[in-house]
Amino acid sequence: MPGADRDVHEWYDEDPDDHDDDTEPMWFPGQHLPEDARRMGLTHHTVEGALLDFGGRLDASKPWHRVTAWAMLVVFGMPVLFAVLRLRYLF
């Protein structure tokens, strides 16, 4: 059998799920926040931090994630557009 003479421990040295450094696993909420947002005190418990965390989890290779990103862009962009239009018609 090829490789039978190798130590069994060599096969398991690089375990991707090894969490000896006291960090939370990647699938926990708040793991996709940018470092700048964390320094400002945003977490996944705040509204802005939750939106950043949600947006950070989107994967551009998945079609539904792209649709979700465009929908979010429209939802958050429309109030800005309406405010600009209102200012334009007031002056």
Write down the mean pLDDT value for the chain: 79
For residue 74, the model assigns a pLDDT of: 96
CB-based contact 37:50 (threshold 8 Å) = no
CA end-to-end span of the chain: 83
| Residue 59, phi then psi, degrees to nearest 5 | -115, 120
**How is 44-68 classified by DSSP, letter by letter?**
TTSHHHHHHHHHHH--TTSHHHHHH
Q: How far apart are CA 44 and CA 37, in angstroms?
A: 10
Can you give the pTM of this predicted structure?
A: 0.57
Q: Report which of residues 74 and 54 the model is more confident about.
A: 74
